[in-house]
């Protein structure tokens, strides 16, 4: 009955859905579940145009659905935001950023997801849109963001898709309770060959946590394994936190394992200190949260103790067989964001990032 009155508000109708009845939801005309997530019925429609096919992913923000655009015939990914005020506000920020990036990079040369459309439907905001080769593309993405003072704030393997063949994350999220993340697609030798030939391109996705540098809102940002030390310590942060995340990602893609796998923020900082040694004294002195991390020992729930500098990066990346790679990651993982390598420097002719060999996998 609701659709009979709703459909007259749409000037164009391309698809009306499968006609399957909805279950007994508890809010908003039975369209939402208890969390405020849109209840998806396979082959139902969005705005009488998109046919919902299957789920691509879920998160705290809501869900991403694979859909068919019955106006163009294209297969698209649609991000459906939870029907909650705080998620809706952040999604509006994401749409604003994506619209800016589409203007600044109309050809997609900087490898950031291109948004094709955004719309509100039933109170939900919706957004439709080797290693050397890969890392250069990621740096190009960060170069565009940094140039316009945009912080991605959630760069991680799951948010970097391989665009050819059809997009897939560099590493799928580990199942709950899993001891280690599953192997990522780059473990496939044929994929590595194709990557070296330049067949594969990447897309950086999910600006749901992003912001302009002058409009920082959150202090708790970035996925833990890729969280920059200035964020952990409560210091001021900027676009340099994305370069830190990239350094972690490149190291992970080389070894197959997260570089800093802390089980909480305390151990996260201990993991960083274990590899890079202690942070500069002036960072600790200025850090609002330094007291949270001051007390040793750095021991996790399994009894593993992490000692400062006991696992140096040169040792962690020993299989790389190329000191230029270690140099690149080390510069991206400088404690102080003021001296950390930034995208323009990484792409400058003659820099090691353009000459790094990833053949050590």
Q: What is the pLDDT of residues 182-236, one digit of tens each?
A: 444 444 444 444 444 445 688 898 888 899 999 887 788 999 999 999 999 999 9
User: Which tokens hold the place of 53?
Assistant: 């096919």
Q: Cα separation of 167 and 281, whole Å?
A: 43
Q: Cα separation of 63 and 37, whole Å?
A: 8
Name the CATH architecture for the domain at 2-126.
2-Layer Sandwich (3.30)
pLDDT value, residue 296: 59
pLDDT value, residue 11: 77
Q: Residue 302 — very low, low, confident or very high, per pLDDT cuts 50/70/90?
A: confident
Q: Are 229 and 269 in contact (CB under 8 A)?
A: yes
For the chain, give every domain's residue range.
Answer: 2-126, 130-354
DSSP code, position 319: G
pLDDT value, residue 164: 57
CA 105 to chain centre: 19
Summary mean pLDDT of the chain: 77
pLDDT value, residue 324: 67
Name the CATH architecture for the domain at 130-354.
Orthogonal Bundle (1.10)
DSSP3 helix / strand / coil % (the chain, rounded to 5): 35, 15, 50
- Residues 111-169 pLDDT 10s: 566 565 555 655 555 444 366 777 888 999 999 999 999 999 999 988 988 775 545 56
User: Which tokens hold the place of 26?
Assistant: 């508890």
pLDDT above 90 (res 336): yes
Q: Cα separation of 95 and 244, whole Å?
A: 25
Q: Cα separation of 257 and 231, whole Å?
A: 22
pLDDT value, residue 243: 97
Active-site amino acid positions: 154
- Residues 54-100 pLDDT 10s: 888 787 778 888 888 898 888 888 888 888 777 777 777 777 777 77
Largest CA distance in the chain: 67
pLDDT value, residue 171: 60
The continuous run of DSSP H or E covering 314 comes out as helix 313-316
User: What is the pTM assigned to this prediction?
Assistant: 0.64
Question: Which one is predicted more confidently, 108 or 84?
Answer: 84
Which of 65-69, 143-147, 250-254, 312-316 tops mean pLDDT? 143-147
Task: For residue 299, list its beta bridge partners.
Answer: 305
Q: Residue 332 — very low, low, confident or very high, per pLDDT cuts 50/70/90?
A: very high
pLDDT value, residue 350: 58
C-alpha distances out from residue 112 to 151, 167, 184, 220, 244, Å: 13, 13, 21, 24, 18
pLDDT value, residue 184: 46
Q: Cα separation of 255 and 143, whole Å?
A: 25
pLDDT value, residue 189: 45
pLDDT above 90 (res 312): yes
Question: Which one is predicted more confidently, 33 or 114?
Answer: 33
pLDDT value, residue 297: 57
| CA atoms within 13 A of residue 10's CA, in its CB half-sphere | 19
pLDDT above 60 (res 20): yes
Which of 148, 205, 204, 160 shows the shortest CA–CA distance to 184? 160
**Residues of the chain above pLDDT 90, percent:** 29
Kindly report the number of other CB atoms within 10 A of residue 74's CB atom: 12
Please indicate if the annotation marks 156 as binding a ligand: no
């Amino acid at each position: 009955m609701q659709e009979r009155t709703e459909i007259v508000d749409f000037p164009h109708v391309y698809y009306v859905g499968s006609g399957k009845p909805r279950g007994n939801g508890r809010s908003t005309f039975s369209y939402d579940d208890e969390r405020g997530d849109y209840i998806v019925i396979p082959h139902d429609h969005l705005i009488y145009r998109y046919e919902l096919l299957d789920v691509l992913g879920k998160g705290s923000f809501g869900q991403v659905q694979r859909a068919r655009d019955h106006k163009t015939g294209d297969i698209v990914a649609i991000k459906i935001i939870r029907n909650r005020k705080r998620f809706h506000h952040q999604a509006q920020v994401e749409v604003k950023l994506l619209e800016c990036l589409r203007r600044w990079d109309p050809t997609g040369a900087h490898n950031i997801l291109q948004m094709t459309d955004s719309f509100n439907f039933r109170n939900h905001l919706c957004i439709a849109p080797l290693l050397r080769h890969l890392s250069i593309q990621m740096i190009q993405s960060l170069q565009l963001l940094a140039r316009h003072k945009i912080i991605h704030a959630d760069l991680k393997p799951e948010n970097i898709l391989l665009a050819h063949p059809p997009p897939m994350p560099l590493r799928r999220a580990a199942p709950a309770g899993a001891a280690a993340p599953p192997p990522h697609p780059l473990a496939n030798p044929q994929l590595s060959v194709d990557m070296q030939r330049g067949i594969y391109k990447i897309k950086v996705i999910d600006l749901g946590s992003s912001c302009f540098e002058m409009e920082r809102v959150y202090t708790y940002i970035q996925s833990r394994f890729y969280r920059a030390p200035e964020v952990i310590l409560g210091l001021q942060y900027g676009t340099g936190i994305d370069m830190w995340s990239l350094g972690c990602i490149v190291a992970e893609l080389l070894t197959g394992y997260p570089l800093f796998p802390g089980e909480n923020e305390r151990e996260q900082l201990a993991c960083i200190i274990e590899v890079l040694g202690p942070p500069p004294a002036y960072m600790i002195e200025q850090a609002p949260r330094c007291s949270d991390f001051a007390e040793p020992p750095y021991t996790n729930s399994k009894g593993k103790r992490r000692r400062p500098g006991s696992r140096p990066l040169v040792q962690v990346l020993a299989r790389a067989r190329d000191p230029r790679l270690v140099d690149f990651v080390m510069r991206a993982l400088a404690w102080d964001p003021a001296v950390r390598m930034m995208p323009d420097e990484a792409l400058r002719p003659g820099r090691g990032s353009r000459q790094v060999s990833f053949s050590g996998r």
